[in-house]
Structures are given as structure tokens and as C-alpha cells.
Amino acid sequence: MAATLDPSAPLPDAFEAWLLWLATQRRASPLTLIAYRAGLHALLRLAEGRAVETLEPQDIRRFVARLHGEGLQGRSIARHLSSWRGLYRWLIRQHGLRANPALGVRPPKSPATLPRVLSPEQANALLDPEAQDLLEVRDIAIFELFYSSGLRASEVASLDVEGGLDLDEGMVTVAGKRNRTRSVPVGSRAIAALRQWLAARARIARAGEPALFVTRTGGRLTAAGIASRLGHRARLLGLGVHVHPHMLRHSFASHLLQSSGDLRAVQELLGHASIRSTQVYTHLDFQHLAKVYDVAHPRARKR
């Protein structure tokens, strides 16, 4: 197995400069920076003291094979390779390095995994029960917004009372990955839940707090806090499945595609830069159709 490394351990100055540039100029997300930092630590470990400027493509291919042999999955190796390619591009621009040895090196293929989604019945079971207290009023507004508009947890957590949410127009505008802004519709159920929350929000929000969703102490509710509350509600209602914010986003996309068949529209609503990211939901839709076939077709039913 690979040796564990302290993800907060300092890196060489050039590495830290590149990560700082990503954070400030490219507005990379905290999770991306954490993943890239781990990739750079892995590169240093595999180089075993050699200067990264002296590495050749065959070295990078050998590192990939070693990571795979250590049990790292293809997706994780791909993230490491992405961080290495980015670092070398930076070194070429800023330090005159001649070539990028990670360019063209491919990770091993990972078995395809489909996102888990709730059935429409499970989604209704999660959202339909009425709130029992003020925090549940807030939570239902959040979860209705997830399922209505396909937002990410970070996008919901960053929403403010002023700006972003227009209930009269039934639209919400958010800044997604790489600070790309998109506007998506908000459904009637979500609008009703959000109006109920806004009417009660002042009872716990701190004076001057801009966040739309706040904690019991009045500060901004974080993405981690949202995930914790969603998991708690799913357990409380006995859904029998671990529910997280991205599952509601997946469910939104899958159910919308099943109803509309419009892949491009789903891509726009999710804020995917590439249609390839959205195409995974076509596989989910095919699974749904296959189940319908197995149940309904007279030649598919078991005698």
C-alpha cells in the first residue's frame, strides 16, 4: 500500500506557487486544491528524491503503474496525472522547463460506476412530511431547492438573501465550478418552502448576516452542515439509504431526463461544461426503461 502523507505538509516553493495561482487566478475549488496537493505529494514520493524537472515520460508511466499496483483506482490516478500535467505546464511557463513529461500519459481504465439516485417515490417520502420545528422548515426549503434545481451543496450554501434567488420570477442564479454563472428555474414546491423559510429566518439569523440559510446560532450554514442535516432526515424518515446532497442533484437530473429526454437542457441546468458529464444519466434512463420492459413486456415476464 502507498505510504500515507500529511496533506498539509509543505511542498516545494514552485509547487505552492502553482497551487496559489490556481486558487487566486483560476478560482479552483477547495476540493480540487486538496486533490491536487495530494497528487503533488504522490509525485514527490514516487520520484524518490529526483528533481521533478529531470523526470521523463517513461518515469511518469512507471509511476502510474506503481500507483495502480498499490491499489489506487483509475479515477484517482487520473486526478494525480491532472495535477502533474498542470504543474509541468506551470513550470514551462514560469521556469522555462522544455517539455511536459506527463502529457499523453493515460491512467488505467476504471470500471464504470453510475451515480446513485432516489426513486420519485423516495424523493417524495423525503420531502413530503411537514416540518416539526424551525430548523426543519429551513431544511425542507434546502432539500426542495436541491431537487427542484439540481444545485450543488456549495452553491446552495453560498446563496445570500439579497441576490441570486428571485422567487417572483422562479429563478435562482449561482456561481458554479470555475466561477461559471448559471440561472435555473425553481419549482412551485420549492418556492413555497423557501417563502415559508424566509418568513421565519429572522427569528434565528444574526443581525447583518447575508446568508440565505443559517444555523441555529445565526451564522451561515456550510455545505457540510447541509449534508449532515440531509443524512439525518433520511435516517429519521427510514428511507433505508444514505442520502447526500449530490444524490438529490443526480435524482433531479435523472428524473428530468426520463421525463423530457432533452440531454442538452439537462446539461445546461446542471452547469456541465461538457456533454460527456451529462451522458451518464442516459445510462440511468436506460436502466429505468429496462426495468419497465422486464415488468411490462409479455415476452420478458417469467412464466
Is 90 exceeded by the pLDDT of residue 253? no
- If you average pLDDT over residues 7-24, what whole number do you get? 88
pLDDT in tens, 52-79: 999 999 999 999 999 999 989 888 999 9
Read off the C-alpha cell for 229: 442535516
253 within domain boundaries: yes
| Whole-angstrom distance, CA of residue 200 vs CA of residue 266 | 33
Supply the pLDDT for residue 254: 78
Supply the pLDDT for residue 276: 60
The DSSP bridge partners found for residue 173 are 183
Supply the pLDDT for residue 174: 84
Contact 102, 55 (CB under 8 A): no
Is 70 exceeded by the pLDDT of residue 290? no
Q: How confident is the model at residue 12 (pLDDT cuts 50, 70, 90)?
A: very high
Supply the pLDDT for residue 173: 87
> When comparing pLDDT for 295 and 46, which is higher?
46
Q: Where a domain ends, among 55, 79, 95?
A: 95
Is 60 exceeded by the pLDDT of residue 266? yes
Q: How confident is the model at residue 297 (pLDDT cuts 50, 70, 90)?
A: very low
299 within domain boundaries: no
User: Which of these ranges, 1-10, 21-30, 33-42, 216-225, has the smallest mean pLDDT?
Assistant: 1-10
Asked if 37 and 125 sit in the same domain, the reply is no
Asked if 153 and 248 sit in the same domain, the reply is yes
Residue bearing cell 514520493: 45
Is 50 exceeded by the pLDDT of residue 271? yes
Contact 282, 275 (CB under 8 A): no
CATH of the domain at 233: 1.10.443.10
73 within domain boundaries: yes
Asked if 88 and 223 sit in the same domain, the reply is no
Which amino acid is present at 45? R
Asked if 270 and 144 sit in the same domain, the reply is yes
| Whole-angstrom distance, CA of residue 241 vs CA of residue 177 | 28
162 within domain boundaries: yes
Query: Hey, which of 3-17, 98-112, 194-208 has the most confident mean pLDDT?
Result: 194-208
Range of the domain at 53: 13-95
CATH of the domain at 36: 1.10.150
Is 70 exceeded by the pLDDT of residue 199? yes
Asked if 151 and 67 sit in the same domain, the reply is no
Read off the C-alpha cell for 75: 479515477
300 within domain boundaries: no
Is 80 exceeded by the pLDDT of residue 224? yes
Q: Where a domain ends, among 61, 95, 129?
A: 95
pLDDT in tens, 139-157: 999 999 988 888 888 889 9
1 within domain boundaries: no
Is 70 exceeded by the pLDDT of residue 162? yes
247 within domain boundaries: yes
114 within domain boundaries: no
- The three-point CA angle 171-173-176 to 5° equals 140
- Computed over every residue of the chain, the mean pLDDT equals 84
Asked if 161 and 271 sit in the same domain, the reply is yes
Give the catalytic positions in this structure.
152, 177, 246, 249, 272, 281
Asked if 272 and 157 sit in the same domain, the reply is yes
Asked if 25 and 137 sit in the same domain, the reply is no
Asked if 56 and 180 sit in the same domain, the reply is no
Supply the pLDDT for residue 267: 67
Supply the pLDDT for residue 109: 80
Asked if 227 and 91 sit in the same domain, the reply is no
Asked if 170 and 85 sit in the same domain, the reply is no
Supply the pLDDT for residue 206: 95
Q: Select from 53, 57, 138, 163 the least CA-distant residue to 98.
A: 53
**How many domains, the chain?**
2
Is 80 exceeded by the pLDDT of residue 284? no
SS3 per residue for the chain: CCCCCCCCCCCCHHHHHHHHHHHHCCCCCHHHHHHHHHHHHHHHHHHCCCCHHHCCHHHHHHHHHHHHHCCCCHHHHHHHHHHHHHHHHHHHHHHCCCCCCCCCCCCCCCCCCCCCCCCHHHHHHHHCCCCCCHHHHHHHHHHHHHHHHCCCHHHHHCCECCCCEECCCCEEEEECHHHCEEEEECCHHHHHHHHHHHHHHCCCCCCCCCECCECCCCCECCHHHHHHHHHHHHHHCCCCCCCCHHHHHHHHHHHHHHHHCCHHHHHHHHCCCCHHHHCHHHHHHHHHHHHHHHHHCCCCCCC
Q: How confident is the model at residue 292 (pLDDT cuts 50, 70, 90)?
A: very low
Asked if 17 and 148 sit in the same domain, the reply is no
Read off the C-alpha cell for 121: 417515490
